Chains A and B, each alone.
Chain A
């Protein structure tokens, strides 16, 4: 058996051809969905189908080539899975554009501007950013160097919407900033930055955190000086998010932090404490905030007040109407659900693609998260492990919270659906997450450097002694 790492890599393969094949499948899904919308709404394929098809195929293959060049050992499934989701999202946003414009035409109102072209631009920006991250971050460990600066950056990003003149309030949540007429959600970027910061802090302090400090209620608490800083940052971030009334993001932020703490220390106690604190926080916000109470009652019995719970009821009606196979893209009435293109895009997809299509989407997310966690396990360095686990957890929790919310599994919270929802900041940052996961997996799967040859067999080198 050869121990030659290069030979081993050849035998296992890098997965790049698998990735190319999957990219082509994802591209076919994206183009097929777009064509299907045209067929369903206008009865004919969209006139720009050829151009769109060429563009999507080109972009998909180009990104694949960049990965080949910059992360040749990276996981081959991640990018195509995300690309397929992005393509499905684009088709649904386009489909809702068509519906909204038809509705405006019926009511003889000026047509609303189409959202899909903007989302397409953001998709390209996201993929460019993915390439940029792969090109510039040659080793993910360089991200762990400036822990406190990263924390500062994360908190700063969270605070941006509160800056007067910069932040804008939309639908009761102050989580947007407006720059040059474009609005961004800095919280989306903060999410990634905070995961990086937590991972880099924990990688240094996890040994110390695992050390017993005081024992409280059967749980060994770490020493204050180890836990302190991270607790401060965490509480600060949580406070900002609650202040901005972005409770979905707060829950996500909290969840990722607890899971990272659990992974770093391997102590189940942290999960228990996390669940207890989450229950406490949830109850507190139920008492403190009217809109939280409304969400909970709307979750328990939406039909008790059909007007107040119009959104979730429409979502359920849409899902039910879709049934097993769905109405087909362009043939349902997803525009009856308010915010169908953002928070409720899963319901819109469930209506037109049916249970079958929605399950495919959920499973695609499952594949993304599973791959992310697999990368974490495979990573050779602890920072890579924590980073990948944190990013995968962030995506997984977000999918659970938002899809669970619109399907009435849990109370509704305002979060975007990764890769699907309308919104540039979320889409771009999710592509950055994929880029970072690719980077970590490239390092994990890269053949190990040749071990130094045993001394006895080593070629001796003559050293000239002067």
Chain B
């Protein structure tokens, strides 16, 4: 009988080996897939059982977890609601995560590898694990000024520190309140979600970085930069500036906003053309330089590349393959040229920073639960958009825009402001867009800003100088006041 038992023992051994191999497959190899399944409540419950770290702006928590005492031990609270909604995003049981809540989830949830050692200590000490916190680059004063300037309008503001690329303000109206999306009651979440998704004004769309617009006249900065970089132009170069310019190879004509010529004898200078935003002069510069030169310059400023990838920012576009008529239109920011507010701010920031474009970023640092820094974002150079002399030339030209041109509404007492207006046509039915981009102080820039307003809520006279410049001024003042207080 023993021979039979020995044989049976081998079969038993194989059965136990099968059990061991099987659990190894499930727990070691397939675990990640199983954990990632959307109907796996464990992972979500676990997230909710952990005190998720706060999102900080300056030293205030704009998103933090508070204890509920319900099935989910914590809920997310957004103290300022819509003001920072596009930056913080939301954290919802049903609808997942967005913006910083999504981008920095590993840190906030405490699952990041940088927090591994602390997790082990927590485990040994029997403490519930805590998430780390994330500090944004936003300045509360700048954000509030930007948001207040957009009150009652549809549009967006982006302010950058040109020296680092840090985003000082990122405001978009309309916005939404992320609080109901984080409500413990799923019905509240559903109602809020449906309301936001069906709202035709798209409140959850972050217009500051995720929507592209025709840049219109603010694109003239890029064309002017290409002109100076080509070596064929100086700020004082004389340009043709007729009232209308027939577009080569087509029957269409390009006109100026004013309807008249840009100077006596249909002549103007590059500086004056920028100051009064002369379309025909820039179109002729564009025709002279050609679309390849314009495209190369636009791309040096960041066009055709996605900025702020983690936040799903939209890519600003300078089209490929254009004929002469299209190039002329593109040179003044029309045709199929598209830019986000962020991209427009990047152009000003690069000019402000001696031609060096810094990579924009929103997360300043990640902090451990005890507020010890884990990761500090180091400023990174994205490209040398123009040479320092070109940058200085463009700055001087932009200063004239605010001193005596279309952008006088952006002037700040005792501060030299460099700026550029834009009023972009959007087709027959839509009102034109009002743009303004600027930086200050011109001698040692601390802030670069871009404002776009797509709907002024009934105001008839839509122009960059009228609508957008005052908003840009308020944001710059907020930054400079704070900078002054700091230094």
Chain A residues within CB distance 8 Å of chain B = 39-40, 43, 106, 206, 259, 262-266, 268, 303, 306, 313, 316-324, 328, 332-333, 336, 350, 354-355, 358-359, 362-363, 365-366, 369-370, 373, 376-377, 382, 385-386, 389, 393, 396, 399-400, 403-404, 407-409
CA–CA, A320 to B41, complex, Å? 12
B6: chain A residues at CB < 8 Å are 377
Known A-B contacts A322-B27, A393-B8; A366 and B34 likewise in contact (beta carbons under 8 Å): no
Closest to B42 in A: A321
**Chain A binding surface, main DSSP class:** helix
CB distance from A378 to the nearest CB of B (A): 9
Known A-B contacts A324-B28, A333-B42, A377-B2; A106 and B71 likewise in contact (beta carbons under 8 Å): yes
CA–CA, A266 to B4, complex, Å? 5
CA–CA, A404 to B25, complex, Å? 13
> Of residues B6, B16, B32, which shows the largest number of chain A Cβ atoms within 10 Å of its Cβ?
B16
A336: chain B residues at CB < 8 Å are 41-42, 45
A369: chain B residues at CB < 8 Å are 12, 16
Instruction: Find A43's partner among B4, B41, B126 (CB 8 Å cutoff).
Output: B126
CA–CA, A30 to B9, complex, Å? 29
Decide yes or no whether B372 CB sits under 8 A from chain A: no
Interface pair B2/A404, CB less than 8 Å apart:
no
Interface pair B8/A259, CB less than 8 Å apart:
yes
Interface pair A263/B4, CB less than 8 Å apart:
yes
Interface pair B27/A370, CB less than 8 Å apart:
no
Interface pair A389/B19, CB less than 8 Å apart:
no
**Chain B binding surface, main DSSP class:** helix
Known A-B contacts A333-B46, A366-B16, A400-B16; A320 and B26 likewise in contact (beta carbons under 8 Å): yes
CB distance from B111 to the nearest CB of A (A): 12
Q: Give 5 nearest A-B pairs by CB, closest first.
A: A320-B34, A355-B27, A320-B31, A409-B22, A263-B4
CA–CA, A382 to B18, complex, Å? 31
Interface pair B27/A266, CB less than 8 Å apart:
no
10 CB-based A-B contacts, threshold 8 Å: A319-B34, A354-B27, A358-B27, A359-B23, A363-B20, A366-B13, A366-B16, A376-B2, A386-B1, A407-B26
A332: chain B residues at CB < 8 Å are 42
Interface pair A323/B1, CB less than 8 Å apart:
no
A324: chain B residues at CB < 8 Å are 27-28
A409: chain B residues at CB < 8 Å are 18-19, 22
A363: chain B residues at CB < 8 Å are 16, 20
CB distance from B43 to the nearest CB of A (A): 7
Instruction: Find A404's partner among B7, B12, B19, B31 (CB 8 Å cutoff).
Output: B19
Interface pair A385/B5, CB less than 8 Å apart:
yes
Interface pair B23/A319, CB less than 8 Å apart:
yes
Interface pair A400/B19, CB less than 8 Å apart:
yes
Interface pair A319/B123, CB less than 8 Å apart:
no
Decide yes or no whether B40 CB sits under 8 A from chain A: yes
A389: chain B residues at CB < 8 Å are 1, 5, 8
Decide yes or no whether B232 CB sits under 8 A from chain A: no
Closest to A359 in B: B20
Interface pair A382/B26, CB less than 8 Å apart:
no
Instruction: Find A263's partner among B5, B16, B32, B46 (CB 8 Å cutoff).
Output: B5
Known A-B contacts A316-B34, A407-B22; A385 and B40 likewise in contact (beta carbons under 8 Å): no
Interface pair A355/B16, CB less than 8 Å apart:
no
Interface pair A262/B2, CB less than 8 Å apart:
no
Q: How many A-B residue pairs have CB under 8 A?
A: 136
Interface pair A321/B43, CB less than 8 Å apart:
yes
CB distance from B122 to the nearest CB of A (A): 11
Decide yes or no whether B230 CB sits under 8 A from chain A: no
- Give the interface size class of chain B: 35 or more
Interface pair B35/A376, CB less than 8 Å apart:
no
CB distance from A364 to the nearest CB of B (A): 11
Interface pair B24/A355, CB less than 8 Å apart:
yes
Interface pair B23/A355, CB less than 8 Å apart:
yes
B15: chain A residues at CB < 8 Å are 396, 400, 404
Interface pair B35/A407, CB less than 8 Å apart:
no
CA–CA, A268 to B10, complex, Å? 14
CA–CA, A459 to B466, complex, Å? 132
CA–CA, A210 to B8, complex, Å? 18
Interface pair B2/A362, CB less than 8 Å apart:
no
A377: chain B residues at CB < 8 Å are 2, 5-6
CA–CA, A317 to B42, complex, Å? 8
CB distance from B461 to the nearest CB of A (A): 59
CA–CA, A350 to B34, complex, Å? 14
Interface pair A319/B27, CB less than 8 Å apart:
yes
> Of residues A106, A321, A358, A389, which shows the largest number of chain B Cβ atoms within 10 Å of its Cβ?
A321
Interface pair A362/B20, CB less than 8 Å apart:
yes
Closest to A400 in B: B15
Closest to B40 in A: A317
Known contacts A313-B39, A324-B27, A407-B23, then 7 further A-B pairs from the complex at CB < 8 Å, ordered by chain A residue = A316-B26, A324-B28, A362-B23, A377-B5, A385-B1, A385-B5, A400-B19
CA–CA, A409 to B8, complex, Å? 20
Closest to A374 in B: B9
B26: chain A residues at CB < 8 Å are 316, 319-320, 407-408
Decide yes or no whether B95 CB sits under 8 A from chain A: no
A404: chain B residues at CB < 8 Å are 15, 18-19, 22
Decide yes or no whether B259 CB sits under 8 A from chain A: no
Known A-B contacts A263-B1, A407-B19; A323 and B27 likewise in contact (beta carbons under 8 Å): yes
B123: chain A residues at CB < 8 Å are 328
Closest to A322 in B: B27
A268: chain B residues at CB < 8 Å are 7
Interface pair B43/A362, CB less than 8 Å apart:
no
> Of residues B33, B34, B45, which shows the largest number of chain A Cβ atoms within 10 Å of its Cβ?
B34
B5: chain A residues at CB < 8 Å are 263, 373, 376-377, 385, 389
Known A-B contacts A350-B23, A404-B18; A320 and B35 likewise in contact (beta carbons under 8 Å): yes
CA–CA, A43 to B122, complex, Å? 12
CB distance from B123 to the nearest CB of A (A): 7
Interface pair B4/A262, CB less than 8 Å apart:
yes
A400: chain B residues at CB < 8 Å are 15-16, 18-19
Closest to A326 in B: B27
CA–CA, A347 to B35, complex, Å? 15
CA–CA, A259 to B20, complex, Å? 23
B40: chain A residues at CB < 8 Å are 317, 320-321
Interface pair A403/B19, CB less than 8 Å apart:
yes
CA–CA, A354 to B45, complex, Å? 19
CA–CA, A40 to B124, complex, Å? 11
CB distance from A239 to the nearest CB of B (A): 26
A303: chain B residues at CB < 8 Å are 37
CA–CA, A319 to B31, complex, Å? 8
B18: chain A residues at CB < 8 Å are 400, 404, 409
Instruction: Find A266's partner among B1, B32, B35, B70 (CB 8 Å cutoff).
Output: B1
Closest to A404 in B: B19
Closest to A106 in B: B71
Instruction: Find A382's partner among B1, B19, B37, B46 (CB 8 Å cutoff).
Output: B1
CB distance from B275 to the nearest CB of A (A): 65
